[in-house]
Amino acid sequence: MKYFFSLALLITTVASYACSCANPGEMDDKQYDSYDFIATGVIDAVEDGEEFKSIYFDVNHFYKGKADHSGIILQTALSSAACGISPNSGEEWLIYANRQDGELHVSLCSRSIVLKAEGMSGVPDRAKEDLMYLDNKEQQEEKYTIGNVDIMESEVLNESRTLNIYLPEGYSADSTYPIIYLLDGSAHEDFLHVAGLLQFCNYPWLKFMPKSILVGIENVDRKRDFTYPSSDEDYKKKYPTTGGSAAFMQFIETELQPYIEANYPVNGTDMLIGQSLGGLLATEVLYKKPELFNHYFIVSPSLWYDNLSLLEQEPAFVADNFDKEITVYVAVGNEGRVMKAVAKKLYKEVKSANKVKSQFEYFKDEDHASILHEALYRGFKGFNARITE
């Protein structure tokens, strides 16, 4: 895969005439590793100065050093005249450069070579060999990616937030997709294994889940973002940053969802996944802002927080004027009496609501640390049944 850029590079040619014009030999891994920058491009203009000849170079493909492309000045201590080279506007070059004392230096009469110029009948054989090597090297080193990493600025939270985005197989901007928002969505938390599970559940011979875009929300302070203010003074002393869930829910509603809608092809179906404190936050959204999502996956929710006070509130989804049909999947493992009791109490509440389709799973062989993957597999597997029941 090739990535093309349009970038003006300034090549400064120092007028000190010393050079070695020996044949550089066949390009190999050792030579490739010896360069910091390799690119092809076209000379836009040549300007003669009193001490320097300035060559404006428009890069059309980077083979190496792409990360260095902004504001590079390439310098050479070899004059073009010393080796019979006179760069001209419109010529296409393959440039090799090395970093010295913080700057990139290029020699136009060593490995670097003209590819196309007026009067040339074709690309030189040595250039063809170099380009063949570079193309093969690029294919070998091409990275496998599953999506994007987006960084958005939040005015509500007054901080930058990182989003890990999984794009399904065959992703196209001309199609539309459900969006799954994953709390605890850092790469070192739950993003990668949930992305893999979603990909598995998309197999055409399974079709447990529709092809969806997964948005992993990286944490900054999960105790702050996933909890509402507590009346427990001891807990507040132990965890002084707790109590910021209202702001985080506002971030989701007024910034995150609009950002995703503006930058990705959505179909209007939104899902939320949360476990543990993330499950507490998912439940709070369900109780207070149920219209934000169509489907909720709530695993091992920490509803013991603040003496179970959230479960004592009347959820918005039972109100007579709530007219959005939603599904709620609740799961808990062998995690102790309190965790099982609060999860069952939550399920009892959603099961009795007219507008909610629900499912409950108990995993006797899983604990708080091991439950999420298995629970989501079961939740994804039963997704179509829940939405059609």
The amino acid at 294: N
Q: What is the mean pLDDT of residues 305-329?
A: 95
Q: Give a yes or no: residue 318 inside a domain.
A: yes
d(CA 45, CA 195): 49
Are residues 270 and 329 located together in one domain of the fold? yes
The pLDDT value given to residue 119: 81
Pairing of strands 266-276, 295-301: parallel
Q: Which two tokens stand for residue 219?
A: 């944490």
CB 334 within 8 A of CB 366: yes
Backbone angles phi, psi at 324, to 5 degrees: -105, 125
What sections of 35-183 are H helices per DSSP? Answer: 125-141
- Strand ranges of the sheet holding 147-154, from the earlier edge strand across to the other edge: 147-154, 159-166, 213-217, 177-182, 266-276, 295-301, 326-333, 356-363
Which of 174-183, 234-243, 246-255, 330-339 is least confident? 234-243
Residue with tokens 């179909």: 267
The amino acid at 53: K
Query: Domain holding 137: CATH number?
Result: 2.40.50.120
CB 310 within 8 A of CB 343: no
For the chain, how many residues are written? 389
Q: Model confidence at 340, in pLDDT bands (50, 70, 90)?
A: very high
Q: Give a yes or no: residue 61 inside a domain.
A: yes
Q: Give a yes or no: residue 208 inside a domain.
A: yes
Pairing of strands 52-64, 147-154: unpaired
Query: Domain holding 231: CATH number?
Result: 3.40.50.1820
Q: What is the mean pLDDT of residues 207-221?
A: 96
The pLDDT value given to residue 83: 57
Residue 378 contacts by C-beta under 8 Å, 6 or more apart in sequence? 331, 361
Q: Which two tokens stand for residue 182?
A: 């994953």
| pLDDT tens, residue by residue, 77-115 | 445 455 556 677 888 888 888 777 666 677 666 788 888
> How large a percentage of the chain has pLDDT more than 90?
60
Are residues 336 and 192 located together in one domain of the fold? yes
Count of beta carbons in the 10 Å neighbourhood of residue 194? 23
74, 106, 141 — which closes off a domain? 141
CB 293 within 8 A of CB 271: yes
Q: What pTM value is reported for the model? A: 0.68
Q: Model confidence at 159, in pLDDT bands (50, 70, 90)?
A: very high
Question: 115 lies in which domain range?
Answer: 7-141
Q: Give a yes or no: residue 2 inside a domain.
A: no
Are residues 334 and 286 located together in one domain of the fold? yes
Q: Which helix (H) or strand (E) holds 308?
A: helix 305-308
CB 282 within 8 A of CB 305: no
Q: What is the mean pLDDT of residues 153-169?
A: 96
CB 21 within 8 A of CB 63: no
> How large a percentage of the chain has pLDDT more than 70?
84
Q: Model confidence at 74, in pLDDT bands (50, 70, 90)?
A: low
76, 106, 141 — which closes off a domain? 141
Residue 251 contacts by C-beta under 8 Å, 6 or more apart in sequence? 154, 156, 157, 161
Are residues 223 and 130 located together in one domain of the fold? no
Query: Which residues sit opposite 104 in a β-bridge?
Result: 74, 99
Backbone angles phi, psi at 211, to 5 degrees: -60, 125
Q: Which helix (H) or strand (E) holds 197?
A: helix 191-201
Pick 81 or 309 by higher pLDDT. 309
- Quick one: which of 279, 360, 346, 278 has its CA closest to 317? 346
Q: Give a yes or no: residue 1 inside a domain.
A: no
Q: How far is CA 17 from CA 52, 96, 285, in A?
A: 12, 19, 72
The 3-state DSSP class for residue 201 equals helix
In the predicted model, is pLDDT for residue 46 greater than 90? no
The 3-state DSSP class for residue 329 equals strand
Q: Give a yes or no: residue 112 inside a domain.
A: yes
Q: Give a yes or no: residue 302 inside a domain.
A: yes
CB 369 within 8 A of CB 335: no
Q: Give a yes or no: residue 201 inside a domain.
A: yes
Are residues 160 and 274 located together in one domain of the fold? yes
Termini Cα distance of the chain: 45
Which of 241-245, 371-375, 383-387 is least confident? 383-387
Rounded mean pLDDT of the chain? 86
- Quick one: which of 190, 228, 234, 249 has its CA closest to 372? 190
Answer positive or negative: Cα dihedral of 232, 234, 237, 239: negative
d(CA 135, CA 144): 17
| pLDDT tens, residue by residue, 281-293 | 999 999 999 999 9
Are residues 75 and 156 located together in one domain of the fold? no
The C-alpha angle with vertex 258 and arms to 254 and 260, in degrees rounded to 5, equals: 135
In the predicted model, is pLDDT for residue 301 greater than 80? yes
The pLDDT value given to residue 66: 67
The structural domain count of the chain equals 2
